Amino acid sequence: MSSGPEIISSSSNPLIKMMRSLDRKKVRNETGLFLAEGARLVEQGLDAGWRLDSLVVSASGAERGYMPALIAKAETGGARVIQVPDRLASQIARKDNPQAVIGAFKQRSQTIGELPAEPASLWIGLYEVRDPGNLGTILRTADCAGISGVVLINQCCDPYSVEAVRASMGSIFDVHFAQGSFDQFEAWKVSAGLSVVAASVNGSARHTETDMTGGTVILMGNEQAGIPDEVEARCDTLCLIPMRGGADSLNLAQATAIMTYEAWRQRDFK
């Protein structure tokens, strides 16, 4: 039986210092850990089989009704559970009103070649996407639409950053994703028999007129530069999302959602 959380009140404690520094990619890479904030996200990660290394419970949240069950689940999985003053929880979360619980989860490493592509599967490919908020939102969209997974091509932002995890609203635990070079992506999509449909200003057919019912990767480009010409030349189809008015472009996450839901619509939302 649990004896309750370990009490830590010093900001110089090694665990607190480590968790506070997980907002830096260097430390995430060194430790292999990342932060997930909130009881719902922590429980979602545990239910999905992700390994929880440490669980921080704020003093003000310790008496909440759901806390004993969550602590027991975390301890059963081998996590270290600590209780801290609210000021330390704020320092870890880097915000004034942190969630009652903050979990440090172990990252998962998966190569593009390990992604389980089925013949008629539907994927999102992101080419050198740099905004973690966009990436997290796209993971959430992929989860909502039942997409097979997200492929991060070349130098993309870190899906385990605090901003990306927050924006994903827990979908980081449920969506397959992997990162690698464009050549690795090419080899994987050829071996899986997938076609690549890119949203591009150079497209001629509308996205609603582009067949995405077969095995497809929807390729979306960098927020500023889009998709390079040499990459577009290796795509099967370039399509265009119609726009009118003063704005000449859509936010990347919005454009990805439009493409994704059109592909899902073509599949009768199955």
Percent of the chain with pLDDT over 70: 99
- The yes-or-no verdict on residue 99 having pLDDT over 60 is yes
Per the CB < 8 A criterion, the answer to whether 210 and 197 are in contact is yes
Q: Write down the pLDDT at residue 2.
A: 54
Q: How confident is the model at residue 95 (pLDDT cuts 50, 70, 90)?
A: confident
**Strands of the 101-106 sheet, one edge to the other:** 6-7, 80-84, 52-58, 101-106, 33-37
For residues 31 and 22, give the distance between their C-alpha atoms in angstroms, rounded to a whole number: 9
- The yes-or-no verdict on residue 119 having pLDDT over 90 is no
Please state the pTM of the whole predicted model: 0.95
Place of tokens 């995405």: 212
Closest among 198, 71, 223, 66 to 132, alpha carbons compared: 223
Q: What is the mean pLDDT of residues 236-253?
A: 89
The residue that leads in pLDDT, 45 or 244, is: 45
Q: Write down the pLDDT at residue 3.
A: 60
How does pLDDT run across 21-55, given as a tens digit for each residue?
Answer: 999 999 999 999 999 999 999 999 999 999 999 99
- The yes-or-no verdict on residue 97 having pLDDT over 90 is no
Domains of the chain: 6-106 (3.30.1330.30), 112-266 (3.40.1280.10)
Q: Write down the pLDDT at residue 139.
A: 98
Q: How confident is the model at residue 246 (pLDDT cuts 50, 70, 90)?
A: confident
What are 216-219's contacts with CB under 8 Å, separation 24+? 216/121, 216/122, 216/123, 216/263, 217/123, 217/124, 217/125, 217/151, 217/189, 218/122, 218/123, 218/124, 218/125, 218/256, 218/259, 218/260, 218/263, 219/125, 219/127
- The yes-or-no verdict on residue 125 having pLDDT over 70 is yes
